[in-house]
C-alpha cells in the first residue's frame, strides 16, 4: 500500500525501506537500538544519617531512624544493619518497590511516615558491594535507550563512594538514544595505480560519516589487519573528509597494503 493511501478514512503511513544489493554496497539505514546510560557507585562503606545520593530529579536521604528529612522532596532510605542492607533498601527505593515502613522515614515536619520511591526511569541493582543503575523504560523497568538526562551526585558518603563517571556527570555520558542511522560498506580491490606515491582514493557518501573502520584482506579474503594495526597502515592513512572517506597510500616500495589486497570500508553516520 502506498504511503498516505486511505482505508475507511484512516491514513496509513508506512516506513521507507532501502534494500541492499547482493554485493552489500548500497547505503541503508540501520535500526540502532541505542545504549542505555549506566553508572556504578561503590557502596562498600555504610552510609550515615543525612548523607544524600542524587539521580536526576530524585534525591535519596539516608536516615538511621524515623525522623525528619532535611527536605520534603527527598526520598528517605533507612540505614540498615550494615552497608549491604542499606544498599538493598536503596535499590528498592530507586526501583519503586519500597513498600514496607522500614523502606521510608518521616517526611520533613514529622506529621506522617513518608514511604516514597524513585520517579526517574532507572533500573537499579546491587552488583557486589556497588550500586549499579541503568536507564529503563519505567521506574524499575527493563533496560532502555531513550537518551535519559540525569545528573549524578552524592554528599557525605564515604570517600570511596563516588560515581564511576565522576561527581555531577550525567548518566547520558555513556548512554545514547536509539534510532535509524546511516550505514554503508564497500569493498575495494587495490590496484598498482592506487599505490603510486601519495595517491588518494575517495569514497563519497550521501550522508556525512562520523566513524568508520577499514579492514585489509588478501585477495583470498584472509584478514591481514585493521586500520589500527601498524603492520597494515604504518605508511597508509584513512580519514573522514566531509562526505568522503579518503585513503592515502604511502610512497612506492614502502606501502603495507599491496596490489590485489581488498579494503573493506564500513562507514556510519547520523
Q: Give the number of other Cβ atoms within 10 Å of residue 9's Cβ.
A: 5
Q: What angle do CA 29, 30, 32 make, to 5 degrees?
A: 135
pLDDT surpassing 50 at residue 144: yes
pLDDT bracket for residue 140 (50, 70, 90)? very high
Domain assignment present for 29? no
Same domain, 111 and 162: yes
Same domain, 55 and 141: yes
In terms of pLDDT, which residue wins out, 219 or 31?
219
End position of a domain, from candidates 157, 173, 189: 173
Give kind and range of the element (H or E) at residue 269.
strand 262-269
- Distance separating alpha carbons of residues 144 and 134, to the nearest angstrom: 8
Same domain, 61 and 154: yes
Domain assignment present for 31? no
Q: pLDDT value at position 102?
A: 62
Same domain, 57 and 167: yes
- Distance separating alpha carbons of residues 42 and 221, to the nearest angstrom: 47
Q: pLDDT value at position 255?
A: 45
Q: pLDDT value at position 114?
A: 58
Which of 113, 81, 83, 82 lies closest to 98 in space, CA to CA?
Answer: 113
Same domain, 81 and 139: yes
CATH (domain of 243): 2.60.40
Same domain, 114 and 136: yes
Most confident stretch, 25-39, 59-73, 95-109, 128-142: 128-142
Give kind and range of the element (H or E) at residue 225.
strand 223-226
pLDDT surpassing 50 at residue 10: no
- The boundaries of the domain holding residue 192 are 179-269
pLDDT bracket for residue 108 (50, 70, 90)? low
- Percent of the chain topping pLDDT 90: 24
What is the pLDDT of the chain when averaged over all its residues? 78
In terms of pLDDT, which residue wins out, 119 or 10?
119
The distance from CA 30 to its chain's CA centroid, rounded to whole angstroms, is 17
Domain assignment present for 83? yes
Domain assignment present for 160? yes
pLDDT surpassing 70 at residue 112: no
Strands of the 262-269 sheet, one edge to the other: 28-32, 179-189, 262-269, 211-217, 223-226
Q: How many domains in the chain?
A: 2
Same domain, 167 and 206: no
pLDDT digits (tens, 9 = 90+) for 28-58: 556 777 888 899 999 999 999 999 999 999 9
End position of a domain, from candidates 173, 201, 223: 173
Number of H helices, E strands in the chain: 2, 19
3-class DSSP state of 48: coil
End position of a domain, from candidates 173, 191, 212: 173
- Distance separating alpha carbons of residues 239 and 67, to the nearest angstrom: 61
Same domain, 117 and 155: yes
Find the range with the poorest average confidence among 89-93, 135-139, 161-165: 161-165
Distances (CA, A) of 227 to 142, 191, 206, 214, 230: 37, 18, 23, 5, 8
pLDDT surpassing 90 at residue 226: no
Amino acid at each position: 500500500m502506498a504511503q498516505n493511501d486511505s482505508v475507511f478514512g484512516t491514513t496509513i503511513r508506512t516506513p521507507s525501506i532501502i534494500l541492499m544489493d547482493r554485493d552489500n554496497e548500497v547505503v541503508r539505514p540501520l535500526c540502532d537500538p541505542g545504549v542505555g546510560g549506566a553508572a556504578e557507585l561503590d557502596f562498600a562503606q555504610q552510609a550515615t544519617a543525612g548523607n544524600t545520593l542524587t539521580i536526576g530529579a530524585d534525591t535519596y536521604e539516608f536516615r538511621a531512624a524515623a525522623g525528619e528529612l532535611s527536605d520534603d522532596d527527598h526520598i528517605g532510605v533507612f540505614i540498615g544493619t550494615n552497608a549491604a542492607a542499606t544498599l538493598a533498601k536503596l535499590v528498592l527505593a530507586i526501583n519503586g518497590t519500597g513498600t514496607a515502613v522500614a523502606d521510608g522515614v518521616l517526611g520533613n515536619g514529622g506529621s506522617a511516615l513518608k514511604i516514597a520511591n524513585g520517579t526517574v526511569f532507572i533500573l537499579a541493582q546491587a552488583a557486589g558491594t556497588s550500586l549499579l543503575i541503568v536507564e529503563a523504560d519505567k521506574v524499575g523497568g527493563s533496560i532502555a535507550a531513550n537518551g535519559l538526562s540525569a545528573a549524578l551526585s552524592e554528599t557525605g558518603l564515604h570517600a570511596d563512594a563516588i560515581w564511576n563517571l565522576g561527581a555531577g556527570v550525567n548518566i547520558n555520558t555513556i548512554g545514547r538514544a536509539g534510532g535509524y542511522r546511516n550505514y554503508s560498506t564497500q569493498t575495494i580491490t587495490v590496484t598498482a595505480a592506487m599505490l603510486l606515491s601519495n595517491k588518494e582514493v575517495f569514497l563519497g557518501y550521501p550522508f556525512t560519516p562520523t566513524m568508520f573502520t577499514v579492514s585489509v584482506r588478501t585477495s583470498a579474503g584472509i584478514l591481514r589487519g585493521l586500520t589500527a594495526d601498524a603492520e597494515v597502515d604504518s605508511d597508509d592513512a584513512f580519514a573522514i573528509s566531509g562526505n568522503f572517506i579518503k585513503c592515502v597510500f604511502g610512497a612506492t616500495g614502502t606501502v603495507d597494503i599491496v596490489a590485489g589486497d581488498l579494503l573493506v570500508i564500513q562507514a556510519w553516520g547520523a
